[in-house]
Structure 1
Amino acid sequence: MQLDVGRLRLLAAIAQHGSMTGAAAALSYTPSAISQQVRRLEAEVGHPVLERHPRGVVLTDAGKAIVAHVGSIERQLEALEVELDDIAGLRAGSLRLGTFPTVASSLLPLAVNRFRERHPGVRLSVLSARLELLLEHLERRRVEMALLWDYEWSRINQPELVLRQVTEDPTAVVVSRSHPLASRKAVQMAELADESWVIRGGGHPVAEVLSRTAHAAGFEPTVSFEANDYQEAQAMVAVGMGVALAPRLALANLRDDVTVLSLGADAPRRRILLASLVGRVPTPAEVAMAEILVAAADATAVRRTAER
């Protein structure tokens, strides 16, 4: 059984005014339109809802049951309207965001703080994972949107995703404070041909960045240490095991005994992307977070430039 809420309300109005004519006048309907709606309601219910008499109408048992519930329905609809207004106004609702470790430890905390300050009523949850798992989380609707990354030679090209570029993340060189190049602001990759290299192990993408960048500069890099994370890589650089490449966002928490050198305009850059599924209408919370992420990325880039 499917009941039309508007017809339920109309029956309650008839009961309130004591006649279909009175309800028609109150609701700006014609009496014939009211009568037609009552017949449709009776067809939906499967029972008469009114007994018609010369002096008016009387509710049947089915009609009385409907009218008894209409007040509760009205209150629930009013509560629903308030909740929907709160969601539209970012006073309620939720947002599930996917991210990856280097963004989660650099750009994202600033964005999370701003989002919570502006929209404290929205429940925000963040899930950090590697790229392949983030794509799965999006596909399985475990998150509404996710921060992803790609390089020029390995673009994300999935037609089911809508991608928005948040920022570009250039690759930089990390050297120890005692390294002969430590006083420099920038370096050319060819100048590092004789260096030993600390890389991320396990087939990490930055190892491919090193290989491609070194080959373009005319040398084969010599690897001295394979690290599990960027903090470990920094520690090995600090004690002279070699130099390292890392995305700038991976260097937000920099050790005091290492320094960062720019590779200039030729530095490989990865795109930081905000992804969602094609065909989804973004919620107000998603729109707000996207704007905050872009603003936070711009602020991070300005601060990084000022520190050079």
Structure 2
Amino acid sequence: MLDVRRVLLLVEAAERGSLTAAAEALAITPSAASQQMSRLESEVGQPLLHRQPRGVRLTDAGAALAERGRSIRRELRAAQADLDSLITLDRGTLRLGSFPTASASLLPLALTRFSRKHPGLRTTVHSALLADLLELLHTGEIELAMLWDYEWNRIQDPALAIDHLLDDPTVLVVPANSELLDEPSIGLADLADHQWIIRADNHPVAEVLRRSCRLAGFEPMISYESQDYQEAQAMVAAGLGIAIAPRLALTNRRNDVRLLNFATDVPAPTRRILLARMAYRDPTPATVAMTEILHAVSQRFTDDNLHRSQLGTVR
């Protein structure tokens, strides 16, 4: 049977490019790392590394074993996280994952309620991109994660238990003096001649805009690519173009822009805000408590959005 520690050494060497760096990461000497790697190669009966003047390169056998080793490492980390949760349960620690717009809207109120209702429980929050949050859930580094998806990229992971918190509608962002404020209703097809502010670096909202505009029969004319929603609002206020955004992303709206709802007969895509945990792990009391609070906070935001939609234009 293969020695797991040696397999993990191979993974570190593969990822770091040298046995010396792998030894440092695992807190062993380079000599010990070299000896352990030689023993692993003896166990498998073939070379796993090409030793080069500067670092190492995997053989085909080494690459195959390193890939399996990554899965083993992931499971070991998950096992350690399970054990850690048992150890820290008396201290009441909740490890939560979130993404920027949820962290700037839903989460602060939820954390405040949580700390007031459960002062003995401690919460840590890891903010990350969607793919990273999913990985952190699988490894057990977080217990709960706030996630999002659209109809074309639904999260379908049988290992996850997913709660639907709320729907987050897409709204139009225009300057405070925009003539669009006088329109009784607006569909995307009515905006084909406008310049657009989008999020940079293939941000999901940029994909929402492009998909929606193409369905409406035109390609959006992009005038600016912003790094965040505050910057996008500033460019809209300056008259450089108009923008779309999820409503939760505009909790801190500038006073020189206005938000418009799209016509109900041609709705813009709505994203779902979700709460996920690993289905095979029993939730801790802290997880259950936070889940209940996040549902309550989400209901408040849903009620506020319903009120705004009944008013039509948000000024």
Q: TM-score, normalised by structure 2?
A: 0.67
The residue type paired with residue 276 of structure 1 is: R
Matching of residues 47-196 of structure 1 within 5 Å: 92-183=91-182, 186-196=185-195
Does structure 1 conserve the Cα–Cα contact (< 8 Å) formed by 2:92 and 2:120? yes
Question: Does residue 241 of the first structure (1) align with residue 206 of the second (2)?
Answer: no
When residues 184 and 255 of structure 1 are mapped into structure 2, their CA distance, relative to the original with a 3 A threshold, is: farther
Q: Take 1:184 and 1:274, find their aligned partners in 2: how far apart are those partners?
A: 37
User: How far, CA to CA, are the matches of 1:214 and 1:152 in structure 2?
Assistant: 16
Instruction: State whether residues 159 and 279 of structure 2, in contact with CA within 8 Å, keep that contact through their aligned partners in structure 1.
Output: yes
Rg larger in structure: 1
Matches within 5 A, 1:21-60: none
1:184/1:261 contact within 8 Å kept: no
What does the per-residue CA deviation read over 1:44-63, in whole Å, with 9 as the maximum and x for residues that have no partner?
Answer: xxxxxxxxxxxxxxxxxxxx
CA distance in 2, matches of 1:208, 1:161: 25
Aligned pairs for 1:216-295 (under 5 A) are: 216-265=215-264, 266-295=267-296
Q: Residue type matched to 1:154 in 2?
A: N
Partner Cα separation in structure 2 for residue 122 and residue 185 of structure 1: 50
Q: Which amino acid aligns with 1:155?
A: R
Aligned to 1:212: 211
1:184: Cα distance to partner? 5.0
Q: How far apart are the structure 1 equivalents of 2:297 and 2:305? A: 12
1:305 Cα deviation after fit: 3.4
Deviation, structure 1 residue 185: 7.2
Q: Which residue of 1 aligns with 2:201?
A: 202
How far apart, in 2, do the equivalents of 1:110 and 1:215 lie? Answer: 37
Residue 212 of structure 1 deviates from its aligned partner by 1.1
Kindly state the Cα deviation for residue 200 of structure 1 after the two structures are TM-superposed. 0.1
Is contact 1:170-1:269 (8 Å) kept? Answer: yes
- Offset at residue 136 of structure 1 (A): 1.4
Check 1:95–1:187 CA distance in 2 against 1; reply closer, same or farther (3 A cut): same
Which blocks of at least 5 consecutive residues in structure 1 are unaligned? 1-83
Aligned with 2:145: secondary structure?
strand
Q: Quick check: 1:197–1:221 contact (8 Å CA) kept in 2? A: yes
Post-superposition offset of 1:158: 1.5
Residues 1:183 and 1:304: Cα distance change in structure 2 (over 3 Å): farther
SS at match of 2:283: coil
Q: Is the 8 A contact 1:185 1:261 kept in 2?
A: no
Equivalent residue of 2:180, what SS? Answer: coil
Q: Output one character per residue of 1:271-297: Cα deviation in whole Å (capped at 9) or x when no partner.
A: 111111121111111111111111101
Does the CA-based 8 Å contact 2:167-2:302 persist in structure 1?
no
Classify the secondary structure of the residue corresponding to 1:282.
Answer: coil
Which string of whole-angstrom CA distances, capped at 9 and with x for unpartnered residues, describes residues 73-120 of structure 1? xxxxxxxxxxx9xx6xxx951101000000000111111111111001
For the Cα contact (< 8 Å) 2:97–2:142, is it kept in 1? yes
Q: Is the 8 A contact 1:98 1:146 kept in 2?
A: yes
Preserved contact between residue 229 and residue 249 of structure 2 (Cα < 8 Å)? yes
State the alpha-carbon separation in 2 of the partners of residues 133 and 240 from structure 1: 35
Task: Tell me by how many angstroms 1:238 deviates.
Answer: 0.4
Mark the CA change 1:139 to 1:236 in structure 2 (over 3 Å): closer, same or farther.
Answer: same
Equivalent residue pairs, number: 221
Runs (4+) of structure 1 moved beyond 6 Å?
Answer: none
- For the 8 Å contact 1:185–1:262, the answer to whether it is kept is no
Instruction: Decide whether aligned partners of structure 1 residues 305 and 183 sit closer, same or farther in structure 2, where only a CA change above 3 A counts.
Output: farther
| Mapped partners of 1:282, 1:264: distance in 2 | 41
TM-score normalised over the length of structure 1: 0.69
Unaligned runs of 5+ in 2: 1-85
